[in-house]
Homo-oligomer: A and B are copies of this chain.
Amino acid sequence: MIIEKINSPKDLKSLTTKELTILCDEIREVLLTKLSEHGGHIASNLGIVELTAALHYVFNSPIDKIVFDVSHQSYVHKILTGRKESFLEKDKYDDVSGYSAPSESEHDLFILGHTSTSLSLACGLAKARDLKGEKYNIIAVIGDGSLSGGEAYEGLNNIAQSDTNTIVIVNDNEMSIAENHGGLYQNLQDLRESNGKCEYNFFKALGLEYHYIEEGNDVAKLISALSEIKDSKKPVVLHVHTLKGKGYNYAEKDKEKWHWGLPFDLKTGESKVQVPVDYNELTANYLLKKIKQDSNVVVITSGTPSASAFTKKRREAAGAQFVDVGIAEEHAIAYASGISKNGAKAIYPVYSSFVQRTYDQISQDLCINNSPAVLIIFAGSVYGLNDVTHLGLYDITMMSNIPNLVYLAPTCKEEYFAMLDYAISQKEHPIAIKVPGGGVISREIAECDYSKINKFEITHQGEKVAILALGTFYHLGEQILDELSKYGLNATLINPKFITGIDKELLEKLKSNHELVITIEDGILEGGFGEKIASFYGTSKILVKNYGIKKSFPDRFVAEELLRENGISLEQITADILTLLNIK
């Protein structure tokens, strides 16, 4: 096999076109084998095989610098830059991350995983190159889906006026994770259908030189197109039409389903993993019901309908009451604010990691205006995604300190839906709900009037130690309570429910018969919930111990291990409490 001889991009340069084509077929085989056994991003990598090979054939990485946007499509790049063993050898599968990783190779410049950043990063690389008087190519490879993000536009706008070598490759596979949305995509379609020659041209309107190549999976044609723009003295866009899922029948047919996947049977395409019913699925059913009951309800997604499990079928059922604004989190929040201000009901399910894109809009467009939109924060948990670029550990610190926002932490399924009911029905506040991590837990809950903002609930009245167990960790709080009872301790258990404020009255009362207050939260400690409790009790005799993850960027961790490192486990917390109370 040719692939066995490829240890660096240099090894590509001596291959004939025919050999390159064979190599691409081999790579596709290797990808499908690994992904069917391991899972990962499938269709985007299958689509970009030839383009990646051509890039490394024509350009001279790492002197020429290539930045892959999002980088979930960089598997082929990894194979060609000295990391093929992690795709060929089963026991080395996990030696590479699913994204660009400078720690793995000098061919990866940035750790990245959020979309729409490559153009700005490349623009910066080019600026430094020019200041230092160096000469080489800077290439950004960006998917069509990523082009809807504001950061990509801002980058493109600055590249256009930079008057220096910056090569923008638009890898147009006609798809975001789901189908694309926004005016730009009609233009991309017109460009594809006219072989790049239609009347209006988004890139040319921004002042960029523009080239089009229809045969985006033909390595020879790609080499020729790339050779033409190599060493360009000014910014240039090469628009490449590729086929997402190329070479795997199921993926070509259902690109959305095959964007990312768990291990699957190569022959049948069936998933090998049984996924239990999760909050995404439960949420989809709930929201669809709301949509049918109330024509003023509208569910918004910013390019990730999977967050609330809005499959194509469900999107069709929702009709105009479901809007995918494309990868555009800033817009999604302002749009939700506009909808809510004008008397309809906007609900925006979004992943914790991506809501970071829209801090200012949450503050300015939403919260200053007190627009009663509803945000549902998915995977905001140590049990959520564990790639360093997709962590769900920061939403509490980011969101809970924004004035006017009410951020709720349900502890179980029943409470989650009760809070959703409240959030959707009220008109007073912007409300966000933090979906609990770690599987769906069901329990009986008491009636609650959530309009009484910042009202915590004592679910078990005890003494000496009170445990404020927020959201995900309420269940752990219950376990600690049981464990402490073995030592004759009747602890108090509190379900805070509200992340954005503290129940001063309740906290004040605890002083009378408690010595110690424990807080546990699902996220980093810094700027979070527990520190507010510590500050409240700062001038009293009550001791406070806060549990959360230490501020950091952990990568591909095992949740239970990370928690244990941060002192969060039944055994550790119980032991701490006994020590602090001088019982053991």
How close is A542's CB to chain B, nearest CB, in angstroms?
A: 9
Is A184's CB under 8 angstroms from B158's CB?
Answer: no
Q: Which residue of B lies closest to A356 (CB)?
A: B360
Q: With A and B bound together, what is the CA distance between A113 and B363 in angstroms?
A: 12
Let me know if A331 and B154 touch, CB within 8 A. yes
Chain B residues in 8 Å Cβ range of A532: 526, 531
The answer to the question of A213 belonging to the interface, with a C-beta cut-off of 8 Å to chain B, is: no
The yes or no answer to A357 lying at the interface (CB within 8 A) is yes
Q: A326 contacts which chain B residues (CB < 8 A)?
A: 154, 157-158
How many chain A residues touch B (Cβ–Cβ < 8 Å)?
A: 119
Give 10 pairs: A residue, B residue, CB < 8 Å, sorted on A: A111-B369, A112-B368, A121-B338, A124-B338, A128-B343, A150-B152, A187-B205, A397-B401, A404-B553, A534-B534
Is A557 positioned at the interface, with any CB of B under 8 Å from its CB?
no
In the assembled complex, the CB of A60 is this many whole angstroms from the nearest CB of chain B, namely: 16
Interface 1/0 per residue, A112-150 and B, CB below 8 Å? 111001001111111111111000000000000000111
User: Judging by beta carbons under 8 Å apart, are B534 and A538 in contact?
Assistant: yes
A539 interface hit (Cβ, 8 Å): yes
Q: With a CB–CB cut-off of 8 A, which chain B residues contact A109? A: 341
- Bitwise, A55-70 to B at CB < 8 A (1) or not (0) is 0000000000100000
Stretch from A39-47, A85-93, A317-325 that touches the partner: A317-325
CB of A97 within 8 Å of the partner chain: no
Say yes or no: B526 contacts A155, CB within 8 Å: no
> Are B157 and A183 in contact, CB atoms less than 8 angstroms apart?
yes
Count of this chain's copies in the oligomeric assembly: 2
Q: Is A172 an interface residue (CB 8 A)?
A: no
Instruction: Report if A159 contacts B (CB, 8 A).
Output: yes
**Closest CB-CB distance, A373 to chain B, in whole Å?**
9
Q: How far is the CA of A109 from the CA of B109 in the complex (A)?
A: 45
Find chain B residues with CB under 8 A from A491 CB.
none
- Can you add 10 more A-B contacts, CB < 8 Å, to A128-B338, A397-B401? A112-B369, A121-B365, A125-B342, A161-B186, A368-B389, A403-B552, A527-B531, A534-B535, A538-B544, A539-B543
Assembled-state Cα–Cα distance A151/B360 (Å):
11
Q: Which stretch of A196-204, A258-266, A461-469 is in the interface?
A: A196-204
Once the chains bind, are A341 and B389 in contact (CB under 8 Å)?
A: no
CA of A204 to CA of B186 in the docked complex: distance in angstroms?
11
B535–A530 CB distance below 8 A: yes
For A335, what are the chain B residues with a Cβ–Cβ distance below 8 Å? 120-121, 123-124, 127, 155, 158
Q: Is A394 an interface position by the 8 A CB rule? A: yes
When distances are taken between beta carbons in the complex, the residues of chain B under 8 Å from A358 are 360
Which residues of chain B are within 8 angstroms of A388 by Cβ–Cβ distance? 368
Q: Encode A91-116 as 1/0 by CB contact (under 8 A) with B.
A: 00000000000100000011111100
A153 is an interface residue with CB less than 8 A from chain B? yes
Contact across chains for A401 and B161 when beta carbons are under 8 A apart: no
| A530 surroundings in chain B (CB, below 8 A) | 535
Residues of B within 8 A of A553 (CB): 367-368, 403-404
Decide if A524 is an interface residue (CB 8 Å cutoff). yes
Tell me, in angstroms, the Cα distance from A336 to B128 when the chains sit together.
10
Judged by a CB distance under 8 angstroms, whether A156 is at the interface is yes
A205-226 vs B, CB cutoff 8 Å, 1 = contact: the mask equals 1111000000000000000000
A364 touches B527 (CB 8 A): no
Residue pair A120, B330 in contact (C-beta under 8 Å): yes
Q: Is the CB of A544 within 8 A of B551?
A: no
Closest CB of chain B to A338's CB: distance in Å?
2
